[in-house]
Amino acid sequence: MFYVIGIGLGDAKDITVKGLEIVKSASRVYLEMFTSVLSVGKDGLEEFYGRDIIIADRELVEMEADTILMNADKENVAFLVVGDPFGATTHTDLVLRAKQKNIPTKVVHNASIMNAIGCCGLQLYNFGETVSIPFWTDTWRPDSFFEKICSNKQRGLHTLCLLDIKVKEPTPESLTKKKKEYLPPMFMTVKEASQQLMEIVKNSDDTVIDRDTLCVGVARVGSDEQEIVCCTLNEMTMKNLGKPLHSLVIVGKLHPLEEEYLNFLSN
């Protein structure tokens, strides 16, 4: 059986009882660590689970998936995902590959930022399409996500912005070499995301988003060090919420209860 197990957002103890039982009995246990990360590392998980864990980087998951699925039709293989298993397209693809090989699969769900964002007081059914904000470079500055934020705003809906992370990304110089060299891990902050948004706003002639648009920044949701701030987009460009992971919400039309909760956060 191939198990895809969500391990939550906070720390090693956020795994479900069902998920932990599977992990303890599986022949191999993989941990995917390129779409998200926990506040505890591999060592902390191994200590709590009582199991050795194999790190599954992007190359292994996307290019060598057969290695992960090897013998999963004869023995139990566990694939651990931070948050919920279906929070990233990559995991859906992996389950599909297993099914195409006639490998039985089971999914164990858990909390993800997609529902835990309710911690900021905004009601989940008032959110529109979720967007991802990538790191800009000197030569690559995509902004197609901004249209979706504006579309949500026009309809009075909030927008959850998932912020870019880069883990084990090869350096441009090493792409043509046999031995790859990797960039240091990078995790976008709400400060960096709002700075990029402000640049787009400044270059837009007519937009429903401006410097005074209300935003919510969250960091380390689900952990004991969770932090939430509410302020304008321009003010968010100066906020430092500390360690990753961060997410940003562009606020739409507020229900009175939502407004009361955000006022509480602001004060």
Task: Confirm or deny that 9 is annotated as ligand binding.
Answer: yes
Confirm or deny that 84 is annotated as ligand binding. yes
Does 112 show up as a binding residue in the annotation? yes
Q: Nearest 5 degrees, angle CA 173-CA 133-CA 43?
A: 70
- Residue 96 known to bind ligand: no
Residue 99's closest CA among 2, 19, 27? 2
**Does the annotation place 221 within a ligand binding site?**
yes
Sheet of 214-219, strand order = 131-133, 159-163, 246-250, 214-219, 227-232
Is 68 flagged in the annotation as binding? no
| Cα–Cα distance for residue pair 2/77, rounded to 1 Å | 5
Q: Is 255 annotated as a binding residue?
A: no
Tell whether residue 246 is among the known ligand binding residues. yes
Residue stretches of the annotated binding site for S-adenosyl-L-methionine: 9, 84, 87, 112-113, 163, 221, 246
Residue stretches of the annotated binding site: 9, 84, 87, 112-113, 163, 221, 246
